[in-house]
Protein backbone atom coordinates (compact mmCIF):
# COMPACT_ATOMS: atom_id res chain seq x y z
CA UNK A 1 0.00 0.00 0.00
CA UNK A 2 1.47 3.37 -1.03
CA UNK A 3 2.05 5.85 1.79
CA UNK A 4 -0.05 9.01 1.76
CA UNK A 5 1.78 12.10 0.52
CA UNK A 6 1.95 14.76 3.25
CA UNK A 7 4.09 17.35 1.44
CA UNK A 8 4.87 17.54 -2.26
CA UNK A 9 7.10 20.11 -3.94
CA UNK A 10 7.30 20.45 -7.72
CA UNK A 11 9.94 22.46 -9.62
CA UNK A 12 10.64 24.95 -6.83
CA UNK A 13 12.97 27.84 -7.74
CA UNK A 14 14.07 31.04 -6.05
CA UNK A 15 16.33 33.84 -7.28
CA UNK A 16 17.40 37.20 -5.88
CA UNK A 17 20.54 38.71 -7.41
CA UNK A 18 21.59 35.11 -8.07
CA UNK A 19 19.82 31.78 -8.42
CA UNK A 20 19.56 30.06 -5.01
CA UNK A 21 17.08 27.20 -5.46
CA UNK A 22 16.70 25.58 -8.88
CA UNK A 23 13.88 23.21 -9.89
CA UNK A 24 13.69 21.26 -6.64
CA UNK A 25 11.05 18.53 -6.49
CA UNK A 26 10.60 16.28 -3.48
CA UNK A 27 7.91 14.39 -1.63
CA UNK A 28 7.43 13.55 2.02
CA UNK A 29 4.98 10.86 3.01
CA UNK A 30 2.83 10.70 6.12
CA UNK A 31 4.89 9.77 9.22
CA UNK A 32 8.21 9.80 7.36
CA UNK A 33 11.42 11.38 8.58
CA UNK A 34 13.23 12.97 5.64
CA UNK A 35 16.66 14.55 5.92
CA UNK A 36 18.12 17.13 3.55
CA UNK A 37 21.90 17.42 3.38
CA UNK A 38 24.26 19.39 1.18
CA UNK A 39 27.30 21.67 1.23
CA UNK A 40 27.38 24.57 3.68
CA UNK A 41 25.56 27.58 2.24
CA UNK A 42 23.80 25.60 -0.48
CA UNK A 43 20.34 26.83 0.49
CA UNK A 44 18.90 24.29 2.96
CA UNK A 45 17.58 26.98 5.32
CA UNK A 46 16.32 29.01 2.37
CA UNK A 47 14.39 25.96 1.19
CA UNK A 48 12.80 25.67 4.65
CA UNK A 49 11.91 29.37 4.59
CA UNK A 50 10.13 28.88 1.27
CA UNK A 51 8.31 25.75 2.45
CA UNK A 52 7.13 27.48 5.63
CA UNK A 53 5.95 30.57 3.75
CA UNK A 54 8.53 33.03 5.12
CA UNK A 55 9.87 33.44 1.58
CA UNK A 56 7.91 33.17 -1.66
CA UNK A 57 9.28 31.10 -4.52
CA UNK A 58 9.67 32.51 -8.03
CA UNK A 59 8.13 29.36 -9.44
CA UNK A 60 6.98 25.95 -8.33
CA UNK A 61 4.06 24.35 -6.47
CA UNK A 62 3.89 23.23 -2.84
CA UNK A 63 1.07 20.90 -1.82
CA UNK A 64 0.11 19.84 1.70
CA UNK A 65 -2.12 16.76 1.90
CA UNK A 66 -2.59 16.98 -1.86
CA UNK A 67 -3.81 20.60 -1.85
CA UNK A 68 -1.75 23.48 -3.24
CA UNK A 69 -0.98 25.94 -0.45
CA UNK A 70 0.16 29.45 -1.37
CA UNK A 71 -0.23 30.86 2.15
CA UNK A 72 1.71 28.44 4.32
CA UNK A 73 2.45 30.43 7.48
CA UNK A 74 1.33 28.46 10.54
CA UNK A 75 1.03 25.16 8.69
CA UNK A 76 4.37 23.82 9.96
CA UNK A 77 6.17 23.52 13.26
CA UNK A 78 9.53 25.22 12.54
CA UNK A 79 12.53 24.69 14.86
CA UNK A 80 15.89 26.40 14.43
CA UNK A 81 19.42 25.50 15.51
CA UNK A 82 19.16 27.84 18.50
CA UNK A 83 16.33 26.98 20.93
CA UNK A 84 14.99 30.60 20.98
CA UNK A 85 13.22 30.07 24.30
CA UNK A 86 11.95 33.14 26.14
CA UNK A 87 14.26 33.52 29.16
CA UNK A 88 11.60 35.28 31.27
CA UNK A 89 9.11 32.41 30.82
CA UNK A 90 9.31 29.11 32.65
CA UNK A 91 9.52 25.83 30.73
CA UNK A 92 5.77 25.24 31.08
CA UNK A 93 5.01 28.76 29.86
CA UNK A 94 7.33 28.40 26.87
CA UNK A 95 5.53 25.22 25.79
CA UNK A 96 2.14 26.79 26.50
CA UNK A 97 3.04 29.55 24.09
CA UNK A 98 2.97 27.09 21.19
CA UNK A 99 -0.63 26.19 22.00
CA UNK A 100 -1.63 29.81 22.66
CA UNK A 101 -0.30 30.95 19.28
CA UNK A 102 -2.30 28.10 17.79
CA UNK A 103 -5.44 29.60 19.33
CA UNK A 104 -5.98 27.71 22.59
CA UNK A 105 -7.14 29.67 25.63
CA UNK A 106 -4.62 29.98 28.46
CA UNK A 107 -6.10 27.34 30.79
CA UNK A 108 -6.49 24.80 28.01
CA UNK A 109 -2.99 25.57 26.74
CA UNK A 110 -1.65 24.97 30.25
CA UNK A 111 -3.34 21.57 30.52
CA UNK A 112 -2.11 20.49 27.10
CA UNK A 113 1.43 21.71 27.80
CA UNK A 114 1.49 19.87 31.13
CA UNK A 115 0.33 16.70 29.38
CA UNK A 116 3.05 17.03 26.73
CA UNK A 117 5.75 17.60 29.36
CA UNK A 118 4.57 14.56 31.32
CA UNK A 119 4.39 12.38 28.21
CA UNK A 120 8.00 13.15 27.29
CA UNK A 121 9.63 13.26 30.74
CA UNK A 122 10.10 16.99 31.19
CA UNK A 123 7.37 17.75 33.72
CA UNK A 124 9.85 17.96 36.62
CA UNK A 125 11.40 20.96 34.82
CA UNK A 126 8.06 22.74 34.29
CA UNK A 127 8.91 25.60 36.69
CA UNK A 128 12.55 26.02 35.63
CA UNK A 129 13.70 29.02 33.64
CA UNK A 130 15.62 28.29 30.41
CA UNK A 131 18.87 29.82 31.69
CA UNK A 132 19.07 27.09 34.33
CA UNK A 133 18.89 24.30 31.74
CA UNK A 134 21.65 22.57 29.77
CA UNK A 135 21.86 23.00 26.00
CA UNK A 136 20.31 19.59 25.42
CA UNK A 137 17.43 20.29 27.80
CA UNK A 138 16.73 23.62 26.11
CA UNK A 139 16.46 21.86 22.76
CA UNK A 140 14.04 19.31 24.21
CA UNK A 141 11.81 22.13 25.46
CA UNK A 142 12.08 23.92 22.11
CA UNK A 143 11.11 20.72 20.32
CA UNK A 144 8.00 20.29 22.49
CA UNK A 145 7.05 23.94 21.95
CA UNK A 146 7.38 23.40 18.19
CA UNK A 147 5.10 20.37 18.42
CA UNK A 148 2.61 22.36 20.51
CA UNK A 149 2.45 24.96 17.74
CA UNK A 150 1.98 22.41 14.94
CA UNK A 151 2.50 18.67 15.04
CA UNK A 152 1.28 18.02 11.49
CA UNK A 153 4.66 18.58 9.81
CA UNK A 154 7.87 19.56 11.62
CA UNK A 155 10.66 21.49 9.90
CA UNK A 156 13.79 20.98 12.00
CA UNK A 157 16.66 23.14 10.73
CA UNK A 158 19.90 21.67 12.13
CA UNK A 159 18.36 21.62 15.63
CA UNK A 160 21.19 19.63 17.21
CA UNK A 161 24.11 21.18 15.34
CA UNK A 162 25.47 23.15 18.31
CA UNK A 163 25.41 20.22 20.76
CA UNK A 164 28.25 17.91 21.73
CA UNK A 165 28.25 14.37 20.32
CA UNK A 166 26.94 12.62 23.45
CA UNK A 167 24.09 15.11 23.97
CA UNK A 168 23.25 14.99 20.28
CA UNK A 169 22.99 11.20 20.37
CA UNK A 170 20.55 11.35 23.30
CA UNK A 171 18.46 13.96 21.43
CA UNK A 172 18.28 11.64 18.40
CA UNK A 173 16.69 8.95 20.55
CA UNK A 174 14.39 11.52 22.18
CA UNK A 175 13.19 12.78 18.79
CA UNK A 176 12.59 9.23 17.55
CA UNK A 177 10.55 8.44 20.67
CA UNK A 178 8.36 11.51 20.10
CA UNK A 179 8.06 10.79 16.37
CA UNK A 180 6.88 7.25 17.06
CA UNK A 181 4.37 8.14 19.79
CA UNK A 182 2.85 11.16 18.04
CA UNK A 183 3.11 9.76 14.47
CA UNK A 184 4.82 12.90 13.22
CA UNK A 185 6.01 13.84 9.74
CA UNK A 186 9.49 15.36 10.00
CA UNK A 187 11.80 17.16 7.56
CA UNK A 188 15.28 17.62 8.97
CA UNK A 189 18.31 19.52 7.68
CA UNK A 190 21.81 18.64 8.84
CA UNK A 191 25.49 18.73 7.91
CA UNK A 192 26.01 15.47 9.80
CA UNK A 193 25.86 12.42 7.52
CA UNK A 194 25.53 9.96 10.41
CA UNK A 195 22.72 12.00 11.92
CA UNK A 196 20.87 11.97 8.59
CA UNK A 197 21.22 8.20 8.24
CA UNK A 198 20.35 7.42 11.85
CA UNK A 199 17.13 9.45 11.88
CA UNK A 200 15.77 9.13 8.38
CA UNK A 201 13.67 7.00 6.10
CA UNK A 202 15.15 8.81 3.09
CA UNK A 203 17.87 11.41 2.57
CA UNK A 204 17.77 14.06 -0.16
CA UNK A 205 21.19 15.33 -1.27
CA UNK A 206 21.48 18.91 -2.51
CA UNK A 207 24.18 20.33 -4.77
CA UNK A 208 26.10 23.52 -4.07
CA UNK A 209 24.29 26.77 -4.91
CA UNK A 210 22.08 27.00 -6.89
CA UNK A 211 20.69 24.04 -4.97
CA UNK A 212 19.32 21.17 -7.03
CA UNK A 213 18.62 17.60 -5.93
CA UNK A 214 21.51 15.29 -6.77
CA UNK A 215 19.92 12.11 -5.46
CA UNK A 216 17.56 10.61 -2.88
CA UNK A 217 18.91 7.72 -0.82
CA UNK A 218 16.54 5.27 0.87
CA UNK A 219 17.72 4.25 4.35
CA UNK A 220 17.01 0.55 4.62
CA UNK A 221 17.76 0.19 8.31
CA UNK A 222 15.22 -1.44 10.63
CA UNK A 223 13.35 0.55 13.24
CA UNK A 224 13.49 1.18 16.12
CA UNK A 225 17.01 2.52 15.64
CA UNK A 226 19.65 1.94 18.30
CA UNK A 227 22.85 3.88 18.95
CA UNK A 228 24.97 0.82 18.16
CA UNK A 229 23.48 0.74 14.63
CA UNK A 230 26.08 3.32 13.54
CA UNK A 231 28.78 0.62 13.66
CA UNK A 232 26.83 -1.88 11.54
CA UNK A 233 28.04 -2.86 8.07
CA UNK A 234 24.88 -1.53 6.41
CA UNK A 235 25.19 1.83 8.17
CA UNK A 236 28.82 2.22 7.10
CA UNK A 237 27.87 1.36 3.49
CA UNK A 238 25.18 4.06 3.52
CA UNK A 239 27.65 6.54 4.99
CA UNK A 240 30.18 5.84 2.23
CA UNK A 241 27.44 6.22 -0.39
CA UNK A 242 26.38 9.62 0.95
CA UNK A 243 29.98 10.83 1.18
CA UNK A 244 30.50 9.87 -2.47
CA UNK A 245 27.39 11.84 -3.50
CA UNK A 246 28.57 14.94 -1.66
CA 6 to chain centre: 14
Domains by residue range for the chain, with CATH: 1-76+152-161+184-246 (3.40.50.300), 82-149 (no CATH)
* 3-state SS record for 102-162: HCCCHHHHHHHHHHHHHHCCCHHHCCCCHHHCCHHHHHHHHHHHHHHHCCCEEEEECCCCC
pLDDT of residue 157: 93
pLDDT of residue 1: 40
Size of the chain, expressed as the number of residues it contains: 246
What residues in the chain have per-residue pLDDT under 70?
1-3
pLDDT of residue 179: 95
* 3-state SS record for 26-84: EEEECCCEEEEECCCCCCHHHHHHHHHCCCCCCEEEEEECCEECCCCCCCCEEECCCCC
Amino acid sequence: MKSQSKLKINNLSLSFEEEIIKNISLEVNQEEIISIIGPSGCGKSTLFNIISGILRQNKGVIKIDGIEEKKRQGKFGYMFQEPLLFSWLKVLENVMLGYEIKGFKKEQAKLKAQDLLKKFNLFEYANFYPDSLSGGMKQKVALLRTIAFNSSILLLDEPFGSLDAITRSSLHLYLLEIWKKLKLTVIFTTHDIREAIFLSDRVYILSKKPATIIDCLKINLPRPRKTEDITSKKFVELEKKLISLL
